[in-house]
Structure 1
């Protein structure tokens, strides 16, 4: 089984993809870039790095392979182990090997693993369809030379004198102006007086209405002889869906599954039993978690104290 394709698929969706027994591929989002010297623009992308110390099986890759290949989880784990064995063998024999669309691995003089990622593949889904491009230099026209040329063509400055034309105005226009001025003064003096009168009348009406309302309130008396008892409402909150579960084991006999469930519950775990799977087994869980970080932390504690073979199941239950 070639697991390179499944690693590439998971890198589009997750920030960490662990290959059990080999290491983990980590992704980090890099913002769009502009290189001014070459006028090149690059879209946002996911930068891939490798950590050889993260080798524990988190169940992500094996579950994805099992669902894609329609096979069991155990078979997927075995296929991963076989592929990792081939990778290590290629490193020992050739000193390097490649994972398609992910990167190259090689050994340095100190036998340390060196990872070189591919730059051609962008695993950031939001940048789908975007590619790098080079923009031509924007040339700005200089207008100073044109202005100097125009100034040289002007030989002299001509002064134009404007002489206003005298017109005869009729006498009746003077009287009309005096009449309009008188109307303006009358309006300027009378309008504030009119506004003040309206404001005074409005205050009188508001005081009268308010007094009548107060009298009505004083006359009204309310009596409740048989008050309705208080009603207590119980609001059911929607349970948060858990997608990350720590697997304790899967049993062929349902009685053994129930026994394991009761044992974990007595030890203080929030144990769960889930329905029988397609292989006829009855799974038992240590507990369920909302985030992968919480599940991973709890798994490490369980591995140290109770079960070294515990692993994370990723499924919406």
Structure 2
């Protein structure tokens, strides 16, 4: 079974896609960039990386394969395990594994995995439809040479003979200066009038406001005591799922049981199958959620899994 199509689908929606007992593909959003030399514009994108240290099964990949292929979760997990065994044996032989639209993996001399991401694919949905393009360099010297050539052909100097033959220009210039001075004077007068009007209106508004404030001022002789409430609200899009129940009363019982054990359990609504989901806790940080999931799987419930979902509080 090829894992690439499923991993590729999940990279659009999640920051981390873990292949159990193999490693995790991570994404990091970067802004648009411009290459200084080639003048190429690159849209914002998700940069891919690989971390072989994160191998703990969070259930994301197996559950997605199970939903797509309409098979049980356990069967999907077996298929992943079989594929991972094949990939590891391929790497040990010194071969390079190519994941379509994701990148390639190989082993170095020390037995560590080397990942080379694919730069021809963008998993950032906000940048859909945006592509790389190159803008030609702006050559300002070329425009300068064009202007100088025009000036040589059409000079703009005025000779004494032209001044004598065009005496009317002198009177036109005098008239233009007079109109300009008159326009400035009228403009200043109009602006002063507006400022005076605004100042009077502001003073009148302030007077009315002070009058209303004085009328509305009163004193409470016996003020109520201040009450401080400490409300702790669940935040975060990373949820450790304890189970899903068809009857809501069963989900309430599960929440109470987990709270008695010290977990910050709660219900997060129903899933697409109409089942009421109960979680151990919710987290803002993905790494913190993964660490908490490992603890839960070791100490309480090996079937717990991580759900990444934005929930309106």
Distance in structure 2 (CA, Å) of the matches to 1:68 and 1:102: 20
- Of the structure 1 ranges 258-267 and 31-40, higher mean CA displacement relative to structure 2 is found in 258-267
1:301 aligns to what? 295
1:287 aligns to what? 280
Q: Is the 8 A contact 2:236 2:285 kept in 1?
A: no
Please state whether the residue corresponding to 1:17 is helix, strand or coil: strand
Instruction: State the TM-score, normalizing by the size of structure 2.
Output: 0.61
Distance in structure 1 (CA, Å) of the matches to 2:158 and 2:298: 97
CA distance change for structure 1 residues 145 and 91 in 2, over 3 Å: closer, same or farther? same
Unaligned runs of 5+ in 1: 166-209, 211-216, 218-238, 252-256
Q: Is the 8 A contact 1:302 1:310 kept in 2?
A: yes
Distance in structure 2 (CA, Å) of the matches to 1:88 and 1:11: 22
In structure 2, which of residues 149, 153, 161 is the aligned counterpart of residue 145 of structure 1? 149
Distance in structure 2 (CA, Å) of the matches to 1:262 and 1:24: 34
Instruction: State the TM-score, normalizing by the size of structure 1.
Output: 0.61
Question: Following TM superposition, where does structure 1 have runs of at least 4 consecutive aligned residues deviating by more than 6 angstroms?
Answer: 239-243, 257-262, 272-275
In structure 2, which of residues 153, 156, 160 is the aligned counterpart of residue 157 of structure 1? 160
Distance in structure 2 (CA, Å) of the matches to 1:312 and 1:100: 26
Q: Is the 8 A contact 2:265 2:279 kept in 1?
A: yes
Q: Is the 8 A contact 1:26 1:49 kept in 2?
A: yes
| CA RMSD across the alignment | 4.5
Please state whether the residue corresponding to 2:143 is helix, strand or coil: coil
Distance in structure 2 (CA, Å) of the matches to 1:8 and 1:310: 24
Distance in structure 1 (CA, Å) of the matches to 2:136 and 2:262: 67
Please state whether the residue corresponding to 1:18 is helix, strand or coil: strand
Q: Is the 8 A contact 1:243 1:288 kept in 2?
A: no
Unaligned runs of 5+ in 2: 172-210, 216-232, 246-250
